[in-house]
Amino acid sequence: MKKLLQLLVILHLFVLGAWTDVMAQTSTVSGRVIGSDGAPLPGVSVVLKNTQRGTTTNTEGRYTLPNVPADGVLTVSYIGYVTQELTVGNRTTFDVTLQSDDRALNEVVVVGYGTQRKIETTGSIASVKSTELVQTPVANVAQGLQARVAGVQVTQNTGAPGGNISVRIRGTNSINGNSEPLYVIDGIQISNSSPTDGVTTVSPLSTINPNDIESVEILKDASASAIYGSRAANGVVLITTKRGKTGATRVTFDSYYGVQKVNKTLPVLNAAQFAQLENEVFKNNYYSNPASLGEGVNWQNIIFREAPIQNHQLSINGGNDKTQLALSLNYFNQQGIIINSAFQRYSLRLNVDHRISNWLKIGTSILGSYAINSGVTTGSQTVGDADVVTGSVLGAALGAPPTLQPYRSDGSIFPFGEQANGQYREVVNPLNFTAILNQTGIRRTLANVYGDATLLKGLTYRASFNVDLQNSLRDTYSPDPSLAKQI
């Protein structure tokens, strides 16, 4: 009996060792990937699962991947096709046929006054879901579309918090007019800034909380004009906000906090180098000992700062078979990387749907927001003016002599005309721009009331009434720079 047990143990160890040797063996795996129509698929990703090792197919659909363990699993994936996973084992050749993924075609999208499956639409429609919009902290819903929709160009006109953003669908369509698309939020038509507003104004879209959005559909082609008329000439962006869902009441709180900073500043002369250059240019010795001045003042370090950005939202969602409700409260605060610039937003959203009977349903959507934008002149819009560069905080920071001081001993701004015997009296202290009060408060309310009546099976009549109320107040004040205190 004892010898039998010893024999079994030896046999077990032998089998285990042999199995380990087999699993430790690696081989080169190759093959060809084709579609369901038999055509080769180039650019297909073939990756060893749970690793970063992989390859892609060539123009003939062929691939080769070395050093693949016998216990490995290959993941074969391609956009628009169903992903396959293959266990290697003792095989070295895998020819794969990928099937088309039709799930995206069954997705329901908003098209004008109703919804359709993608496969049934004849126009060019792109859809972006809420999870994609808020992957990065954004103040404007248009920022969430950047690099996510083919054929749509999103340009941030200014880096100021809450600044305007241009959206172009199929390029610029007008020379003198507005090329912005039409925005429709829960059936309410709004417009972005007009051509005369300038690129530094606050975007109307910044008053809307991106976290409240369920999905964004972009109608790209001329078929949108059949619904919205000439206002859809530049395309249409349909924004649908989140609505209540049947079930237990859900209370959620979302929050994030981050810090923004300038990644790289422009190299400039320090005080010693500047003084030496001044002596050489003007052929004098105004600076008797340039080397003693050292580094001096880097004005970019004076106007730039590490700026916090934060967002906090409380949401309540729930309802029963008759009534559904969605409520959210949001606070967003983005401090600018230039001192004294900031954007704050307080917003409230309330969506209510109530079914009165089997054939009649009513509901409302209310979006209210209050935004406060504190701006600093970062770029001059005057063309042909001598101050087109220095007439802004950035231009002045690059042109300010590093031999001068930003503040007096009491913390007030030190005018350049009072320094260096008035030699630089025509140069503006960059802090003068940050001392100017330029604050805009925007109150906006988007309200919609609708009624759905089912007249016949498959035929529904909707009556919708909406309003867009907006008012703004701009405060500007330019103090005496010599009396302005350090920020």
For 212-233, how does the pLDDT look when each residue is reduced to its tens digit (9 = 90+)?
A: 888 888 887 766 777 777 777 8
- Strand 236-241 vs strand 182-185: parallel, antiparallel, or unpaired? parallel
- On whether the CB atoms of residues 188 and 466 are closer than 8 A, the answer is yes
Where residue 115 falls among pLDDT bands split at 50, 70, 90? low
Provide the CA 20 distance to its chain's centre, in angstroms. 49
Tokens of 28: 């080169």
Average pLDDT, stretch 237-252? 90
229 conformational bin, left if phi > 0, alpha if psi -120 to 50, beta if neither: left
Whole-number pLDDT of residue 20:
44
Contact 146, 181 (CB under 8 A): no
Q: Which has more confidence, 333 or 428?
A: 333
Listed range (15-19, 68-72, 93-97) with the worst mean pLDDT: 15-19
**Mean pLDDT on 103-121:** 53
Q: Residue 426 forms beta bridges with which residues?
A: none
SS3 224: helix
Whether the predicted pLDDT of 319 surpasses 70? yes
345/177 Cα distance (integer angstroms): 30
User: Among residues 412, 416, 414, which one has the least CA distance to residue 426?
Assistant: 416
The answer to whether 363 and 354 have CB atoms below 8 angstroms apart is yes
Average pLDDT over residues 367-392: 70
pLDDT at position 182 is: 85
pLDDT surpasses 70 at 273: yes
- At 316, is the pLDDT very low, low, confident or very high (cuts 50, 70, 90)? very high
3-class state of residue 144 by DSSP? helix
- The mean-pLDDT minimum among 174-178, 187-191, 251-255, 457-461 falls in 174-178
Give CATH 2.170.130.10 domain extents, the chain: 105-241
The confidence band for 332, taking pLDDT boundaries of 50, 70 and 90, is very high
Q: For residue 379, what pLDDT is reported? A: 65
Q: What residues contact 52, with CB distance under 8 A and at least 6 apart?
A: none
Tens-place pLDDT, residues 121-180: 545 677 787 777 777 778 788 888 877 777 788 887 777 887 778 888 877 766 666 778
Separation of alpha carbons 198 and 388, rounded Å: 15
Assess if CATH 2.170.130.10 describes domain 105-241.
yes
Question: pLDDT category, 198, cuts 50, 70, 90?
Answer: very low
For 204-341, where are the E strands, in sequence order? 213-219, 236-241, 247-260, 307-319, 323-335
Distances (CA, A) of 283 to 239, 291, 412, 421: 65, 17, 34, 18
Closest CA to 73 of 51, 57, 58, 55: 51
Q: Long-range CB contacts (< 8 A, 24+ apart) of 96-100?
A: 96/31, 96/32, 96/33, 96/34, 97/33, 97/34, 97/35, 97/36, 98/33, 98/34, 98/35, 98/36, 98/41, 98/44, 99/36, 100/35, 100/36
Q: What is the mean pLDDT of residues 300-323?
A: 94
> Average model confidence (pLDDT) for the chain?
81
Q: Which residues of the chain are in CATH 2.60.40.1120 domains? A: 23-98
pLDDT band at 1 (very low <50, low <70, confident <90, very high): low
The residue type of 34 is I
Distance of CA 259 to the CA centre of its chain: 16
Q: What local confidence, expressed as pLDDT, does residue 142 receive?
A: 82
Q: According to the model, what pLDDT value does residue 361 have? A: 94
- The per-residue pLDDT for 232 is 78
Check residue 129 and give left, alpha or beta (phi > 0: left; psi -120 to 50: alpha).
Answer: beta
pTM: 0.71
Could you list the beta-strand ranges (E) of 273-387: 307-319, 323-335, 342-355, 360-374
E strand or H helix that includes residue 442: strand 437-456
Confidence class of residue 330 from pLDDT cuts 50, 70 and 90? very high
Kindly tell me if the per-residue pLDDT of 294 is higher than 50: yes
Average pLDDT in the 272-298 region?
90
Q: Which CATH class is domain 23-98?
A: mainly beta
